[in-house]
Amino acid sequence: MKYVVGLYIVMAVMVFVNGASVFIFKDEFSAIASWLTVMLFLLGTIFFVNVRYFYPRNSFWSS
């Protein structure tokens, strides 16, 4: 379950980075924010792969 929570945290940080880039920094650092978003997406993908590996299809995904 910790991988699912980690995935949710990574996705929430992605939304925060995009919002901060647009509303706080007025798109001055949009390239850095885009780079951070891509890195966070890759981190979220790693969490998703770990969930698929540690929780087989019958135990987690069917409930």
Mean pLDDT for the stretch of residues 1-11: 81
pLDDT at 52: 78
pLDDT band at 63 (very low <50, low <70, confident <90, very high): low
Look up residue 63 and give its DSSP letter.
-
pLDDT digits (tens, 9 = 90+) for 7-57: 888 889 999 999 999 999 998 988 999 999 999 999 988 888 888 787 776
SS3 (DSSP) at 26: coil
Return d(Cα 41, Cα 28) in angstroms, integer. 22
Let me know: does 29 contact 21? Beta carbons within 8 Å. Answer: yes
Where along the chain do its domains lie? Answer: 24-54
| pTM for this prediction | 0.72
Look up residue 36 and give its DSSP letter.
H
